[in-house]
Amino acid sequence: MHNRSVRHNIRLVGMACAMGLAALGIGQVAVDRLMAQGARADRPAQFEVDPFWPKQLPNNWIMGSVVGVSVDANDRIWMIHRPSSLVDNEKAAALNPPRAECCFPAPPVLVFDQAGNLVKSWGGAQPGSDQWPDSEHGIFVDHKGNVWIGGNGAKDAQVMKFTQDGTFLMKIGNKGQGRGSNDLQNFRQPTTVFVDPATNEAYVADGYGNRRVAVFDADTGAYKRHWGAYGNKPDDDDPYNAGSANVAANYQPDDPPAKQFGRAVHCAAVSKDGFVYVCDRTNNRIQVFRRDGTFVRETFINRKARGFGSAFEVGFSTDPGQQFLFNVDGMDEKIDIIRRDTLEQVGRFGHKGRQPGQFFAVHSIAVDSRGNIYTGETLEGKRLQRFLYRRTSTRPRSRR
């Protein structure tokens, strides 16, 4: 079969999935066969949207802007959203008096099983407590099962640690007390936490207000170290690309790279072989470090991007060597597939839009043990999606 015909057939099967495979009499085995025929051994794996995952929320709930996704050891998918982002027409049943039968804001932390069922929910601010952020941002389930949450509200200067049932365990930093990028006790609008199981250290991407990665003991909260771009000491007075969540007006893609991280430092994730990948979102780049903060190299993602920037969050492929890095390009609304050994972009998927498999303000990413990718969309996207991993074929294709 000619390659072009195979690709055409795969696209048709994808459309059929969206309408319901059963109605067309096409089973999952047929889909897998076509995907395998179209794959090539010299290309990364392909991903296919699961248009019916997750299932509708119970309790007449609706989710707001999704700002974090994580996967636990049991392949349950954790997400955090902002109930405060829901407009009145979305949360009409919760108004006084109610405007409609639907809907009520869901709790900010939602947990789904592989079938797409909601299995757990909790979270939210409590009167008189600073154990919850003013604006939720980022969620991570560590190797011990603890749940970490950040926040990018104007006063948020802390990251919080909970049990899986939502019991508060610890916070690092204190709300309203952030004193800049060289503060050893507080943050400023921290975006995400990643706990390295090899060292039990919590890497904090800090953040929308600061320009650094900060590392703490994940059990005690004791400060370990921090660094800025290229492993240097952060300088909050550096004017280059001094914007906030958007690429600054003075950003020029052909100029020498910025010496400091921009605002926002949007992710810090550690690979199994000990490299730290930092998303410098508004400078359109990913910088790579050793665990001690020694700079290794950088790669630019869609370097000419303006607006939100192009380096939002990364995930790793689940092969033993974590061969591929997945980057969320929130401005161009795509997921980039990058070889970790060369930092070469070898694939992309997604397109701006609201249909299954498309993105509107894609923001977060996580990968389960089977290689499936989960994405969260913020702003008006307000959606969680799953993309099924399709293994590439290593067998030679027959000619007809």
Identify whether the C-beta of residue 396 lies closer than 8 Å to the C-beta of residue 367: no
User: What is the pTM assigned to this prediction?
Assistant: 0.87
269 and 122: one domain? yes
DSSP three-state, residue 265:
strand
pLDDT of residue 130: 82
- How many CB atoms within 10 Å of residue 292? 12
pLDDT of residue 243: 59
241 and 322: one domain? yes
Task: Classify the phi-psi angles of 110: left when phi > 0, otherwise alpha if psi is within -120 to 50, otherwise beta.
Answer: beta
pLDDT of residue 290: 98
Asked, for residue 44, whether it belongs to a domain, the answer is: no
Asked, for residue 361, whether it belongs to a domain, the answer is: yes
Order of strands, sheet of 136-141, starting from the edge strand that comes earlier in the sequence: 136-141, 147-151, 159-162, 168-172
- pLDDT for 163-209, tens place per residue? 999 999 999 999 999 999 999 999 999 999 999 999 999 999 999 99
pLDDT of residue 239: 76
67 and 111: one domain? yes
Provide the sign of the torsion angle of the four alpha carbons 172, 129, 378, 239, taken in this order. Answer: negative
Of the candidates 295, 298, 262, the one whose C-alpha atom is nearest the C-alpha of residue 280 is 262
Asked, for residue 399, whether it belongs to a domain, the answer is: no
pLDDT of residue 392: 61
DSSP three-state, residue 228:
coil
Asked, for residue 261, whether it belongs to a domain, the answer is: yes
Angle at 361 between CA 130 and CA 106, to 5 degrees: 45
Beta-carbon contacts of 250 under 8 Å, excluding residues fewer than 6 positions away, are 239, 240, 241, 242
Quote the number of domains for the chain.
Answer: 2
101 and 28: one domain? no
288 and 381: one domain? yes
Asked, for residue 45, whether it belongs to a domain, the answer is: no
Asked, for residue 90, whether it belongs to a domain, the answer is: yes
342 and 298: one domain? yes
90 and 15: one domain? no
254 and 107: one domain? yes
- Split the chain (400 residues) into runs of 10 and give each run's mean pLDDT: 42 43 40 37 78 98 98 98 98 98 98 98 88 96 98 96 97 96 97 98 96 98 98 89 74 91 94 98 96 98 93 97 97 97 96 97 98 98 97 47
| Residue 33, domain extent | 1-38
Asked, for residue 43, whether it belongs to a domain, the answer is: no
CA distance 138 to 81: 9
pLDDT of residue 24: 37
Identify whether the C-beta of residue 332 lies closer than 8 Å to the C-beta of residue 304: no
18 and 54: one domain? no
DSSP three-state, residue 25:
coil
DSSP three-state, residue 31:
helix
60 and 108: one domain? yes
31 and 59: one domain? no
Q: What is the CATH number of the domain that holds 235?
A: 2.120.10.30
Sole residue written with tokens 């990968």? 367
pLDDT of residue 36: 37
- Following CA atoms 357, 360, 363, 364 in sequence, which dihedral angle do they give, to the nearest 10 degrees? -30
17 and 88: one domain? no
Identify whether the C-beta of residue 69 lies closer than 8 Å to the C-beta of residue 54: no
DSSP three-state, residue 290:
strand
Asked, for residue 95, whether it belongs to a domain, the answer is: yes
Omega before 103 within 30 of 0, i.e. cis: yes
- Nearest-Å Rg of the Cα atoms of the chain is 21
- pLDDT for 336-350, tens place per residue? 999 999 999 999 999
pLDDT of residue 394: 42
